[in-house]
Amino acid sequence: MQEILYAPWRTDYIAGKKIEGCVFCHISANDTDGVNLHVLHRDEHCFVVMNLYPYTPGHFMIIPHHHTDALEALDAQTWIHMSALAQKGVRMLKEGFGAHGVNIGMNLGRAGGAGIAEHIHMHLVPRWEGDTNFMTSITHTRVYSTDFDNIYNKLKELSKEYF
């Protein structure tokens, strides 16, 4: 018998308005639509945005405004700034959001596992002891136990203090 997992929140992904070109450049260029695009922070070098399909609640990304698929082509000032934002983001996730740990990573290029390979981005994934359970291990299904918009609103408020 086939099991069915209902995921109505994915309707926007399947049937919603498609962004032409680079989704990250779209977010970068639309600085007045931060709430609808789930932007947590924006400055002259980078922006911080929620991952719409998170691994765990609170998963966000740090993305340079400069469009490049090559980390080695990014100017040093922007890379240092991304690193500083990562430190602030880890502090926010641990102190403000209650994460027990944080995974930080970049998947560079399609062969490196990047879902959006044309524009580099750094993931910050909050982790909790015991957040991997039988659902993840056996069925390869993540259970997202809280509303995405509630998490965004909480992190948006925290970002005012931490970024």
- Measured CA to CA, the distance from residue 42 to residue 57 in angstroms comes to 21
Exactly one of 38, 59, 119, 121 is catalytic; which is it?
A: 121
Whether 38 is a known active-site residue: answer no
DSSP string, 37-79: TTEEEE-SSEEEEE-SS-SSTT-EEEEESS--S-GGGS-HHHH
User: In terms of Cα–Cα distance, which of 161, 145, 120 is closest to 54?
Assistant: 145
- Measured CA to CA, the distance from residue 25 to residue 82 in angstroms comes to 16
Residues taking part in catalysis: 121
